[in-house]
Every structure is written in C-alpha cells, then in structure tokens.
C-alpha cells in the first residue's frame, strides 16, 4: 500500500483542529469580555439610578413642590433622569440611570400618611375613663373630636390633649376601593383587606373566611407572617381573639385584619423590634390581668375599649379609633407612648392601603424597587 | 488505496463533527453562578412583577387557631378552661425554654396577688351573670362575661410561680 503523503494529510488535520480550537477560545474570550463589560455597565447604571433617586429624595425633603429637571443629568460617567409621579396616596419617584448604553430603573414612594399617625391617641368620638381608682398616662398628642370625661375615682394625665379636633386629625376613612364614588363602605374594607393579602407572597399571609370567632395563639407556623386577614361575609362577622401575641418572634411585624371585632387578650410582647398591629372594621378590645406591654398600631373603624384588672400596662404606637374609646381599668396604671415609625413611612403591613391624598408626606422612601 | 481514502474520509467527518461540538460547547456563554451575582441584585427590595398570591382561604387549624363557630352556643367556662389549658400545654412543649422563661419573668407575681385578681374577676362575673339573668339579650354583658371568663382562665393558667 502506498502511504506517501499520509503525514501531510495528518498535519493538515491537526492544523485545522488547532485553528478551530483557537478560534473557539478567541470567540469565547470576546464573548466573556462583552458580558463583563455589560455587567459592569449594568452595575454602574444601577448605582447612577440610585444616586438620582437619592438626589430626588433630598430635593423633596427641602421642598415637596420640587420638580425634577426635564433633561438627564450627567453623573459618574453616565447620566440619570428622574420623574415625579403623583399617585394620590403617595408621590412616586422614578429614576433611570444610563451607563455605556445600558439602562436600569428604580423607584420609591413617599407615602401620604394619614394625619392621625401624628398622635398617640386619635379618637373620632368621645374618650371616657370609667375605671375604678385607675390612672392613665398618655404621652405626646391626644386628639379627640368629641369630649373627654372621667369617673370620680379615675385619674387621667395627658401631655398634650385637644378636644373638638377636626375629624381629619382623628379618623381614617377606608378609601374607595370599589370605585363606586363612596368611600368607607364595608365592601371597600373587604377589598382593602384582600389587597393587603395580595401585597405579599403566599407564605407571608394567612387568609381566612369565617363568620365565627377565630382564636389566635402564639404559634411557630405564624413566624414571618405579615398579614392575617379574617374575612366575614357581613359587617361585624369574622371576630378575632389574639392571645398573648401571635408568633413571639423578634423583629415580628404582623398585622391582623378583621371584618369584625379584634380582642387582644393579655398582650405579652417582649421581643425586640416586634410589632403586632390591628385593623378592625368593628371594635378593638384589649384585656389584661397581668402586666402587659406591646408595640402596636391599632385602627378601629368603630369603638375601642381597654380593660385592665389590677395591674399595669403600656402600649407604644398609635391608637386610631374612628368612634368612641373607653378605658375601663380597675386599680391599674396604664401608659400610652407615641411611636413616630409610622409617620416616617415605616407603616406596618396593610396600613399603606389606608393612605390617601389628604395625608402628610413621609420623609422616608417606601416600596423601593427596580422596575 | 480506495479503502484507505474511504477510512480517512470517515475519520475526517467524525473529527469535524467532534470539533464543531467542542467549538459550540466552548463558545456557549457561561451562565453566572449565584456567587457572582451583582451586588444590586442582592439588595433587599421587591422586584416588580412578582406573582401575587391567589385568594385561597386557609384552614385556621393549620396555624394553631381555634374557631368558635357562629352558629353554635358561645363556649362556657369549662370549655374555655379546657381550651386555654390545652393551648398552654402546646405552647410549653413547642416553644423554646428561653422564650417561656421570658414570659414567666414578665408576669411573675406572688400567689396572693393572683388570688386577689381572681376574686375581683369572680365578682365581675357574678355581676355580669346577674345582668344577663335580667336581660338575656344584653350583647354587651354577654361579651363582657365571655372576656372575663377568658381572663379568669388566663389568670389560673399563665403564671409561672
């Protein structure tokens, strides 16, 4: 067999193979270099957008009537452009950063927080202290649209109390969720509760439909939950009793929403940075027999009653009662402290849905997200 | 000779296919692993367009909740005591010791004081029952009685004395 020329052919094959492999490596190297360039550009664009958002926030803090410039501003080798959009319950600030032809956009909202969040106690109706030999202390503002009264042996101390306050300073109507032109209806409240549930991922919420009374005990399956909504089919149905707390977890920020009455029994909230808040279509009741302490934002669409027996308790947060509030302590010492978290934009889960165009613009950005 | 050329052709075809496969696999863009994720992507803010949960009602018992049905009679003293006792046992077995000791620390008081409270509650319960005897449909008194019974049960069960 004549094998002359075989070496040449094999050399040719090897050279071809090496050429193809080299081309592949060069191609991959170029592709990775492009990806890296785009990745860096994307990161740069993000932080430029972030700078734009912070610039807008700074300007809004100086003056809420600030308007963003019409054209993009150069920054960090790229540019950002900012938009200010009024969405009624909030002012949305949107920023787009561009770097090396790559754009990224982020936005945040300055919520319009209802005015009652400026107060410790906000009572749309009358406030009465009818306990026996009880002392109640309320720090910061107490605003009452009706009147304050107390029984002979009860003692109330208020740092800053005002009776006959405007209802805008003391009450929060439920916004017109069903868009029928009338706010504050039960159907609005149901849609508000459902909206609160749908604002979080499925593992952060518990949605219950029940016309009975749901008793909630501390349970580890409730750790990390944001919203529990108990929905009854008619106004006043779907009551909730909360015993002690719900999850006994540090950093807890849970809101219980009910179409009925919520009763908080023996609040024992000792965890750091924890908050258990209440939104009730009907009444809010609080009862304790031992020392109680909790941080809560309480919103009762109707009345609120606090009943303590032979002990002392303290509530930190904001209590907003659209109608009457009564303090029925018996031989107790109850203190109410103000928390400015909510007015600064750190609203508990679900409460954002109560913001409306009449509110006070928060100083902190909420709902920060990429879009 | 023809056979030799034929074998070489087959060899060349196989080699070419192999080279193409190698070329494609090498030049395919690499998918970045999680640890190379951009810093911005790791920031704790929501991305738009996350699927919102459907409104599927949950079973309260899956979360340790107990429901008093609207249609049935409100629970009596014995029923409330049994419920609170059972739940306290559940809490004692399920929660870590340090959580329970914090609770105990918070509410610790002497037995005499608790006794006084129970007497106070009993007095209020008697008053409520009297009102309900005279006015069986007094909803306020009924609610108050229910709450007092629960408070009494808590006062009996809770303290870690």
Q: List the single residue in A with minimal CA-CA distance to B11.
A: A13
**B144 phi and psi angles, rounded to 5 deg:** -65, -40
Q: List the single residue in B with minimal CA-CA distance to A286.
A: B147
pLDDT of A331 reads 65
Q: What is the pLDDT of residues B131-153, one digit of tens each?
A: 999 998 888 888 888 888 998 99
Q: List the single residue in B with minimal CA-CA distance to A205.
A: B53
pLDDT value at A261 more than 90:
yes
pLDDT value at A178 more than 80:
yes
Q: Is A138:A161 a contact under the CB 8 Å cutoff?
A: yes
pLDDT of A276 reads 95
- Share the mean pLDDT of chain A: 91
pLDDT of A275 reads 93
Poorest-pLDDT segment among A169-183, A304-318, B30-44, B109-123: B30-44
- Share the mean pLDDT of chain B: 77
Poorest-pLDDT segment among A30-39, A171-180, A355-364, B19-28: B19-28
Element (H, E) at B67: strand B66-68
Q: How confident is the model at residue A302 (pLDDT cuts 50, 70, 90)?
A: very high
For chains A and B, count residue pairs whose Cβ atoms are closer than 8 Å: 176
pLDDT value at A22 more than 80:
yes
Once rounded to an integer, what is the mean pLDDT over residues A218-243? 95
Once rounded to an integer, what is the mean pLDDT over residues A93-119? 95
| Shortest alpha-carbon distance between residue B42 and chain A (Å) | 12
| Shortest alpha-carbon distance between residue A240 and chain B (Å) | 9
pLDDT of B3 reads 66
pLDDT of B42 reads 40
pLDDT of B53 reads 58
Selecting from B70, B116, B150 the residue whose C-beta is nearest the C-beta of A237 gives: B70
Query: Does residue A208 sit at the B interface (CB-CB below 8 Å)?
Result: yes
pLDDT value at B26 more than 80:
no
pLDDT of A3 reads 63
What is the percentage of chain A residues whose pLDDT exceeds 90?
A: 70
pLDDT of A256 reads 98
pLDDT value at A312 more than 90:
no
Q: What is the pLDDT of residues A118-132, one digit of tens each?
A: 999 999 999 998 877
pLDDT of A56 reads 95
Residue of A217, A226, A292, A303 to mutate, interface with B, max B Cβ within 10 Å: A217
Helix axes B111-134, B139-157, angle to 10 degrees: 160
Q: How confident is the model at residue A310 (pLDDT cuts 50, 70, 90)?
A: low
What is the percentage of chain A residues whose pLDDT exceeds 70?
A: 97
Q: What is the pLDDT of residues B93-120, one digit of tens each?
A: 888 888 888 777 777 777 888 888 888 8
pLDDT value at B130 more than 60:
yes
* Residue B137: DSSP 8-state: T
pTM of the model: 0.81
Q: What is the pLDDT of residues B32-58, one digit of tens each?
A: 444 434 444 444 444 444 555 568 999
Of the candidates A298, A260, A299, A264, which has an alpha carbon nearest to the alpha carbon of residue A282? Answer: A260
Q: How confident is the model at residue A230 (pLDDT cuts 50, 70, 90)?
A: very high
């Amino acid at each position: 067999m004549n094998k002359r020329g075989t070496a040449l052919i094999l050399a040719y094959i090897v050279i071809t193979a090496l050429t193809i492999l080299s081309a592949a490596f060069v191609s991959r190297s170029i592709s990775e270099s492009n990806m890296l360039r785009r990745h860096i550009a994307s990161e740069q664009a993000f932080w430029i957008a972030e700078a734009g958002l912070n610039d807008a926030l700074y300007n809004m803090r100086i003056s809420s009537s600030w308007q963003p410039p019409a054209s993009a501003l150069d920054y960090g080798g790229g540019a950002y452009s900012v938009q200010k959009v009024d969405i009624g319950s909030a002012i949305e600030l949107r920023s787009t950063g561009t770097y090396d032809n790559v754009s990224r956009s982020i936005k945040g909202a300055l919520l319009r927080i209802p005015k009652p969040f400026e107060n410790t106690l906000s009572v749309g109706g009358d406030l009465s202290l009818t306990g026996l030999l009880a002392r109640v202390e309320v720090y910061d503002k107490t605003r009452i649209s009706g009147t304050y009264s107390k029984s002979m042996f009860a003692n109330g101390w208020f740092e800053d109390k005002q009776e006959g306050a405007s209802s805008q300073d003391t009450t929060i109507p439920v916004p017109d969720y069903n868009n029928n032109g009338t706010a504050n209806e039960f159907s609005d409240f149901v849609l508000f509760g459902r909206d609160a549930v749908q604002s979080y991922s499925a593992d952060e919420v518990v949605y219950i439909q029940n016309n009975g009374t749901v008793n909630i005990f501390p349970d580890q399956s409730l750790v990390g939950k944001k919203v529990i909504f108990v929905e009854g089919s008619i106004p006043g149905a779907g009551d909730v009793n909360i015993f002690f707390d719900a999850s006994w977890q540090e950093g807890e920020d849970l809101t219980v929403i009910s179409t009925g009455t919520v009763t908080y029994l023996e609040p024992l909230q000792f965890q750091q940075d924890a908050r258990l808040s209440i939104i009730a279509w009907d009444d809010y009741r609080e009862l304790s027999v031992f020392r109680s302490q909790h941080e809560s934002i309480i919103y009762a669409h109707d009345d609120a009653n606090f009943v303590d027996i032979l002990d002392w308790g303290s509530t930190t947060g904001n209590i907003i009662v659209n109608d009457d509030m009564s303090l029925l302590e018996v031989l107790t010492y109850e203190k109410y402290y103000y928390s400015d978290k909510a007015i600064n934009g750190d609203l508990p889960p679900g409460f954002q849905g109560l913001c409306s165009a009449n509110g006070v613009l928060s100083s902190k950005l909420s709902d920060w997200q990429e879009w | 000779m023809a056979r030799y050329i034929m074998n070489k052709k087959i060899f060349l075809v196989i080699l070419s296919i192999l080279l193409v496969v190698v070329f494609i696999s090498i030049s395919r863009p690499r998918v970045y692993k999680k640890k190379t994720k951009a810093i911005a992507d790791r920031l704790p803010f929501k991305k738009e367009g996350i699927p919102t949960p459907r409104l599927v009602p949950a079973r309260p018992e899956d979360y340790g909740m107990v429901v008093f049905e609207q249609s049935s009679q409100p629970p009596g003293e014995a029923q409330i005591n049994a419920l609170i006792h059972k739940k306290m046992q559940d809490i004692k077995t399920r929660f870590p010791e340090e959580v329970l000791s914090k609770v105990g620390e918070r509410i610790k008081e002497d037995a005499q004081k608790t006794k006084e409270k129970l007497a106070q509650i009993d007095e209020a319960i008697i008053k409520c029952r009297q009102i309900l005897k005279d006015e069986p449909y007094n909803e306020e008194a009924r609610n108050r009685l229910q709450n007092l019974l629960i408070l009494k049960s808590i006062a009996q069960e809770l303290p870690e004395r």
